[in-house]
Amino acid sequence: MAVHAHPDDESSKGAATMARYVAEGVDVLVCTLTGGERGSILNPKMDRPEIRADISRVRREEMARAREILGVQQRFLGFIDSGLPESEDEPLPEGCFALQPLEVAARPLVAAVREFRPHVILTYDDDGGYPHPDHIMTNRVSVEAFEAAGDPDRYPGTGEPWQPLKLYYHMSFTKARFEALHEAMTERGMGSPYADWIARWEDRPQKWEITTRVHCAEYFPVRDRALLAHATQVDPDGFWFVCPTELQQEIWPTEDYHLARSLVDTELPEDDLFAGIRVREPLSAGEAGQVCG
C-alpha cells in the first residue's frame, strides 16, 4: 500500500517500484488522501480556463490513466486539498485535510488497511518529503494507521484488525542522486539542469538514511508514462524529463527508502521491500492464504 497526498504523487515517488512488484504478482493499492483540488496547473500547455474551472474532475481522470499505466489499484479517501501557503503566516483553508484532527484524518486509512491487508506501507517522512501541509499530514496518518490498524480497541467500526509488518519512507529526492546525475550529464557534455538546485541544497546532514534500494530501472519508462498522464502537473518538456531515461537507468537504477518501522527481522541494507516477510517460516494457515500487498 502506497499512501499519498495528491494525484500525481504516486507517479513521482515510488512508481517504478510499484510497477515492478505488480509485474511480480503483488497486489498494490494507492491511497490518495485528497483530490488535489487546490493544486496549481504546472504544465503551461494545460493552463486553460475550462481546465481551471473543473480541475477536480480533470485530476481524477488523470489519476485513472496513471493507475492503469502502473497496474495498481487506487482509491481516493475523500479529503480536500489544503493547498500550499505562500508564507508561514497564511492560514490554511477551513475544512482542508491538514486541519483535520488526527483520528478523523486517519480513520479512512485505517479502514483501507484493514480491508486491503497490506504487509508493507509506503509513505513520506515526517517532513513530508517537502513541507507541504498535506504531505506532513500524510506521514502522520500513515504512522497512525500502521500503529492502530492491528489494535482491536482502536477505530471501532472500520473492519477486522490487521497489522502491517513494515513501514517505509520515500527517499526519492536525495542530494547524492542528483549529484550523480549531474556529474554524468556534465561528463557527457549534455548540460545539467541540476547545478542550481544542488547549489541551493541546504547544508545539513540527510535526516534519514537509505536502508533499502529497490532495483527497478526497467520500469522507469512505465513511471514516466504515469507521470505524463498527470498532464496538468507535469510538463513533458520540463524538469522531469531533461535527464534521459537511459542515463538514469545506468547511473541510479534504484528507488530508495528508509525502513521506519519493522515487525519482522531483516538485515540492512535491503534490496526488497518484502525482505523478512517472504521467507517467514513456518506460516500459519491464515498467513499461507494471504498475498503480499
Strand (E) or helix (H) holding 212: strand 212-215
135 appears as a binding residue in the annotation: yes
C-alpha cell at 84: 500550499
Kindly state the cell numbers that stand for 33.
Answer: 488522501
Q: Rg (Cα) of the chain, in Å, rounded?
A: 19
Does 182 count as an annotated binding residue? no
* Assigned C-alpha cell, 82: 489544503
For residue 8, give every residue at least 6 positions away whose Cβ sits within 8 Å of its Cβ, in sequence order, or none. 36, 39, 59, 62, 63, 66, 227, 230, 233, 234
Locus of grid cell 512508481? 15
Q: Is 9 annotated as a binding residue?
A: yes
DSSP H or E run through 166: strand 166-170
Cell numbers for 201: 541544497
Measured CA to CA in angstroms, residue 120 lies from 35, 37, 170, 187, 201 at distances of 24, 28, 13, 39, 31
Give the residue from 234, 174, 203 showing the smallest Cα distance to 39: 234
Handedness of CA 274, 275, 279, 284 (dihedral sign): negative
Helix boundaries (H) for 37-188:
49-52, 55-70, 102-116, 133-148, 175-187
Q: Which DSSP helix (H) or strand (E) runs through 34? A: strand 29-34
Binding residues for Zn(2+): 6, 9, 135
Binding residues: 6, 9, 135
